[in-house]
């Protein structure tokens, strides 16, 4: 599967504060086209906030965000977000709409596709994640794993150039985690550019091309998974790994 | 037995009741429904506007919504109806040439309903999880599209029971319009019962009017309870897994 038209995403010297809380203190992250960058670190280290800054759900106070080498900070943020898919820890499906409508809504309203075409496209995406037969169900009637599959299909339907995963498996029952990780792995292998904020160290180590360890709003260490997990240089990363592994 | 007979005669004089019932049904009921339903619908429209203003990022809009709500919710219904219905009469007459107080009654009921319904909508919209707006924005929807397509519909759904409750209030409050001196054909249920009671010196017509109110409000109360119950209990079932049907996510092991 290498059907994605993916792009290169770069964050440069990102700063952000919430009041007196300096959440991001000069973050750099470079994700070359078709690669997967995982971001690990303790809770409150700013990982999820970084994702939201990179698709401008939150505007950075300082720094730059580049997609395919061009700054996107002066673009319409809605346009930028159409190019970046995002999957959330809590799924955030639209509970008042059917599974099919969840996936086709943006196609109809943003891509302005006619209803037939949008539904056909949405069904194809649902098929890809194994949930075509749930098209008419409501999100409330799905399990957590199924909801997250729909959320992934919803994001993919927009044909994004980059996919963000914000602790996509953290709210799932343990037995459902594997299926979602397998889906993400296949996306990565299919050539999608991905930024994955995760507590799944196995995924981070085996699937990602680069691992970035954040703590206290800074990148403490980043590099190839073998190096990050096999030969951590800093004490903070060593401590973190000994806590989670 | 004298006391009991007196009681029956005062409240359950079938003849007096029988005489007023046709009037209650053909004149009173339609008027009560017109007053309650039209101010309810208008109240929903303006209430939604008020709610959106109340959560808007524009400070002036928020302030206007806040003051309006505080004032109209803080006043007794009878005072608003008198002030608007009588006070606005001359203005209304100059503007339209009409001396009909009926539209002013609807206006007064609408002004109050707007304040209450606005608060209902606002609380509903604000109860929608933040993630819903975030997910819509992440897909590329603008703030207003995300609100209109995703957040507001969910907010409204959650407060449907409260809206039906508000309709019950309007049905009852529409009785206060009697003070505006309506034409015979414009009288609502209470006024007809009251007039008949005054004419016959017997309270039975008012009891009949009361029964007619209850025939509307009690079933509506049960509708509210039913909606509440259904929303609270919902329907969930767990089925998993669908890995077998998935095209991607099979070969890979994380």
Cβ-Cβ contacts under 8 Å, A86 against chain B: 135, 138
Is A205 in contact with A229 (CB distance < 8 Å)? yes
Query: At CA B217, angle to CA B213 and CA B223, rounded to 5?
Result: 160
Q: Give chain A's largest Cα–Cα span.
A: 56
Task: Answer whether B254 sits within 8 Å of A202, measured CB to CB.
Answer: yes
DSSP code of residue A113: -
Cα within 13 Å of Cα(B21), Cβ side: 9
Task: Answer whether B236 sits within 8 Å of A179, measured CB to CB.
Answer: no
pLDDT at site A3: 61
Pick from A88, A145, A158: which is nearest to B241 by CB? A145
Pick from B135, B244, B249: which is nearest to A182 by CB? B249
Task: Answer whether A143 sits within 8 Å of B240, measured CB to CB.
Answer: yes
Is A229 in contact with A201 (CB distance < 8 Å)? yes
pLDDT at site B35: 94
Q: How does pLDDT run along chain A (245 residues), one tens digit per residue?
A: 446 777 899 999 999 999 999 999 999 999 999 999 999 999 989 999 999 999 999 999 999 999 998 999 999 999 999 999 999 999 999 999 999 999 999 999 999 999 999 999 999 999 999 999 999 999 999 999 999 999 999 999 999 999 999 999 999 998 899 999 999 999 999 999 999 999 999 999 999 999 999 999 999 999 999 999 999 999 999 999 999 88
pLDDT at site A127: 95
Nearest chain A residue (CA) to B139: A82
Is A180 in contact with A145 (CB distance < 8 Å)? yes
Q: Report the 3 state secondary structure along chain B.
A: CHHHHHHHHHHCCHHHHHHHHHHHHHHHHHHHHHHHHHHHHHHHHHHHHHHHHHCCCCHHHHHHHHHHHHHHHHCCHHHHHHHHHHHCHHHHHHHHCCCCCHHHHHHHHHHHHHHHHHHHHHHHHHCCCHHHHHHHHHHCCCHHHHHHHHHHHHHHHHCHHHHHHHHHHHHHHHHHHHHHCCCHHHCCHHHHHHHHHHHHCCCHHHHHHHHHHHHHHHHHHHHHHHHHHHHHHCCCCCCCCCHHHCCCCCCCCC
Distance CA A56, CA B136 (A): 13
Is A158 in contact with A111 (CB distance < 8 Å)? yes
For the record, the structure tokens of B188 come out as 């609502």
What are the φ and ψ backbone dihedral angles of A91, each rounded to 5 degrees?
65, -50
Minimal CA separation from B32 to chain A, in Å: 34
Residues 6+ apart with CB under 8 A from B50: B65, B68, B69, B114, B115, B117, B118, B121, B122
pLDDT at site B53: 95
Q: Which residues pair with B72 in a beta bridge?
A: none
- Residue A111's CB: how many other CB atoms inside 10 A? 16
* CB of B127 less than 8 A from some CB of A: no
pLDDT at site A195: 97
Distance CA A43, CA A39 (A): 12
Mean pLDDT by 10 residues, chain B (254 residues): 85 88 93 95 97 93 97 95 89 85 92 97 95 96 95 92 94 92 88 91 92 95 86 56 65 51
Query: At CA B93, angle to CA B92 and CA B95, rounded to 5?
Result: 65
Is A81 in contact with A70 (CB distance < 8 Å)? no
Window 183-242 of A: residues touching B by CB (8 A cutoff) are 183-187, 189-190, 200, 202-203, 206-207
Window 132-151 of B: residues touching A by CB (8 A cutoff) are 132, 134-142, 145, 149-150
Distance CA B177, CA B182 (A): 8
Pick from B132, B139, B243: which is nearest to A130 by CB? B243
Minimal CA separation from B153 to chain A, in Å: 8
Cβ-Cβ contacts under 8 Å, A134 against chain B: 242
Q: Which residues pair with A62 in a beta bridge?
A: A15
Cβ-Cβ contacts under 8 Å, B145 against chain A: 109
Task: Answer whether A1 sits within 8 Å of B248, measured CB to CB.
Answer: yes
Pick from B149, B244, B248: which is nearest to A109 by CB? B149
Q: Give the burial class of B40: count Cβ atoms within 10 A of its Cβ; 0-12 exposed, 13-18 middle, 19 or more buried.
A: buried
Cβ-Cβ contacts under 8 Å, B235 against chain A: 140-141
Q: How far is CA B53 from the centre of its chain?
A: 20
Nearest chain B residue (CA) to A207: B254
B24-34 b/e with 16+ CB inside 10 Å = b?
beebbbebbbb
Sheet holding A218-223, edge to edge: A84-87, A162-166, A193-197, A36-40, A210-215, A218-223
pLDDT at site A192: 94
pLDDT at site B231: 75
Distance CA B105, CA A29 (A): 64
């Amino acid at each position: 599967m290498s059907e994605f038209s993916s792009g290169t995403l770069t964050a440069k010297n990102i700063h952000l504060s919430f009041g007196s809380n300096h959440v991001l203190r000069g973050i750099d992250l470079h994700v070359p086209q078709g690669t997967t960058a995982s971001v690990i670190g303790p809770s409150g280290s700013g990982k999820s906030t970084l994702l939201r800054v990179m698709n401008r759900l939150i505007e950075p106070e300082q720094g730059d965000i580049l997609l395919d080498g061009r700054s996107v900070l002066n673009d319409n943020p809605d346009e930028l977000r159409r190019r970046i898919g995002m999957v959330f820890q809590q799924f955030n499906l639209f509970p008042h709409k059917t599974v099919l409508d969840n996936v086709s809504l943006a196609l109809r309203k943003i891509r302005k596709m006619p209803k037939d075409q949008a539904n056909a496209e949405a069904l194809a995406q649902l098929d890809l994640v194994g949930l075509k037969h749930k098209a008419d169900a409501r999100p409330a009637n799905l399990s957590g794993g199924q909801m997250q599959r729909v959320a992934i299909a919803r994001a993919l339907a927009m044909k994004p150039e980059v996919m963000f995963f914000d602790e996509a498996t953290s709210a799932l029952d343990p037995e459902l985690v594997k299926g979602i990780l397998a889906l993400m792995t296949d996306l990565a292998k299919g050539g999608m550019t991905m930024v994955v904020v995760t507590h799944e160290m196995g995924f981070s180590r085996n699937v990602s091309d680069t691992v970035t360890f954040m703590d206290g709003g800074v990148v403490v260490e980043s590099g190839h998974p073998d190096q990050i997990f096999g030969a951590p240089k800093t004490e903070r990363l060593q401590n973190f790994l000994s806590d989670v592994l | 037995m004298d006391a009991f007979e007196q009681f029956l005669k005062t409240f359950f004089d079938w003849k007096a009741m029988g005489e007023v019932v046709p009037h209650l049904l053909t004149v009173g009921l339609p008027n009560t429904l017109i007053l309650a339903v039209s101010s309810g619908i208008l109240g929903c429209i303006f209430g939604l506007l008020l709610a959106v203003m109340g959560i808007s990022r524009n400070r002036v809009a928020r302030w206007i919504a806040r003051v309006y709500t505080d004032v109209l919710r803080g006043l007794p219904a009878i005072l608003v109806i008198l002030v608007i219905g009588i006070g606005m009469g001359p203005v209304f007459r100059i503007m339209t040439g009409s001396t009909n107080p009926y539209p002013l009654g609807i206006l007064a009921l609408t002004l109050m309903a707007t304040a209450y319904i606005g608060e209902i909508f606002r609380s509903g919209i604000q109860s929608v999880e933040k993630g819903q707006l975030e997910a819509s924005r992440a897909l590329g929807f603008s703030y207003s599209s995300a609100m209109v397509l995703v957040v507001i519909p969910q907010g409204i759904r959650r407060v449907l029971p409260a809206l039906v409750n508000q309709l019950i209030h309007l049905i009852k409050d529409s009785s206060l319009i009697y003070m505006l001196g309506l034409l015979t054909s414009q009288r609502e249920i209470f006024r007809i019962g009251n007039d008949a009671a005054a004419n016959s010196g017997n309270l039975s017509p008012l009891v009949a009017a009361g029964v007619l109110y209850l025939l509307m409000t009690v079933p509506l109360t049960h509708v509210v309870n039913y909606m509440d119950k259904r929303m609270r209990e919902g329907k969930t079932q767990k089925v998993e897994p669908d890995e077998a049907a998935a095209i991607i996510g099979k070969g890979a092991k994380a």
